[in-house]
Amino acid sequence: MSLLGIDIGTTGSKVAIFNKYGDILSMEYIEYQLIHPTKGWVELDPDLIWYNIKTILKKANQKIKRDKITAFSISCQGEAVIPVDRKGNSLYNAIVTFDNRTLPQYKFWQNKIGKKEIFNITGMPLHPMYSINKIMWLKHNRKDIFKRTYKFLCFEDYLFMKFGYAPTIDYSLAARTMAFDIRLKKWSKEILDASKIDEEFLAEVKPSGVIIDGTIDRSLTDEIGLEKDIYGVTGGHDQACGTFGAGIIQEKTAMNAIGTSDVITPVFENINVKNEMLENNYPCYPYVLKDKYMTISFNLTGGLLLKWYCDNFCFEEKLLAAENVKNIYKIIDENIYNQPVNIFILPHYVGSGTPYLDPNSKGMMIGMDLETNKSKISRAILESNVYDLRLNLENLILSGIDIDKIIAIGGGSKSSVWLKIRADILGKKIITLKNSEAASLGAALLAGIATGEYRSPEEAVKEVVQEDVVFEPDMDNYKKYNEKYFVYKDIYDTNKELLHRIAKLD
């Protein structure tokens, strides 16, 4: 029998079917476009995503014969919220993480409760991105939608409802709404009362790795070919599932997910809401394993910046990739400048991630001269993303979270060039896994634990997760990068006022 992991990302979705040993029996992936109805608004069509999930799941399921799926779970992006009616039909597009329409709600929370108390309750540093702000925006600006809404769902609970199960959300994803009490493990009465949003509008909350109520819709078993007695199991926020799929169950080891965003996720034993965590905008919320917690540092435009660069400036590389049947990112790696460069990019192209969490910041590229060419700019993009990572690692240490070992997953982990740059700038070993599909694997492992395929998380990790390549830092390069890194650290503080003035020009 096999286990299914579904991974809903910001720009694409994946389904992967695994056997007990973590081998991929079948996998399908599909991309989709973000929707920008007006400047600063960012949405996804939930109906399209549901259609895509059914399509790729049917394809993946047709490729397995005797290994029928017994259980599935879901890994998904955080913060996105979808209003649905009683039949699970979406009433509005999903408003995703880096949509900026909710600044008025952000200011409301600043004045109503304050960032310190919000952090103590929810573990979330105050920011416009959280789901509760999007729900409040809909209530205030789209009363027609609000009146028809049965539930406001994130993608995990939305998909469970579409499959026919009770809409259910796990602790880790519920925390990303900024409406969840991380101590009491339930929706926060104080936050909901202040927002004037009734708890009935939200899904039922359960720990990760729990079988949920309901059965899969009969029409789907016929359409996709799934067994009618398949179990639905609570999953988690994609960073939490990816971290578990990377085998991280102890402190001092972190997952680096190199995807649309560039994220570091460490795990720890106790709630950490120290002042340093709040000052650096690091959240604290439940992990997918019982009585463990996690935080994330993130650069919102990690792989997204590289994709923007490819889409707008890499026309020759696209032609070469098509002619040679190669991935365009492989072409970029092959033609990249072979030494550290003195070009710096502030990767705040959709605002900044941690530690600043500044939605009004903008991207910058400095240090160019007439000798600057595309190969140097390509390297500058890769290096600057890692400078940002190093800044976060240093701040995590100041917050009481030390990291000795980094496991790299995601699309960027397939670039040996980028991984070597990471090792050299960070001065740490970067380790890849034999199976880099960590988010969908983490979801599948949760499904396997819930249904008794594994006796414990420890057994699941031991059975499935295997390290592959270790990238050692070149200490000569590390010394070269040190001086450049300290230049990078000054870019935001030196230019913050100017960047905010530019933002106001819109």
Residue 67 confidence (pLDDT): 87
Q: Average per-residue pLDDT in the chain?
A: 95
Residue 228 confidence (pLDDT): 87
29-41 pLDDT, tens per residue?
Answer: 999 999 999 988 9
pTM given for the model: 0.90
40-54 pLDDT, tens per residue?
Answer: 899 999 999 999 999
Query: What domains lie within the chain, and their CATH numbers?
Result: 2-246 (3.30.420.40), 297-398+474-504 (3.30.420.40)
Run of H or E residues at 381: helix 374-398
Overall average pLDDT of the 419-446 stretch: 94
181-237 pLDDT, tens per residue?
Answer: 999 999 999 999 999 999 999 999 999 999 999 999 888 999 998 988 999 999 999
324-353 pLDDT, tens per residue?
Answer: 989 999 999 999 999 999 999 999 998 899
Quick check: 27 and 437 in contact, CB under 8 A?
A: yes
The token pair at 324 is: 């040679």
Residue 66 confidence (pLDDT): 83
Q: How far apart are CA 348 and CA 261, in angstroms?
A: 11
**Position 354 pLDDT exceeds 80:** yes
Closest CA relative to residue 4, chosen from 277, 258, 224: 224
Q: Three-state SS for 253?
A: strand
Residue 11 confidence (pLDDT): 86
**At 277, is the pLDDT very low, low, confident or very high (cuts 50, 70, 90)?**
very high
**At 146, is the pLDDT very low, low, confident or very high (cuts 50, 70, 90)?**
very high
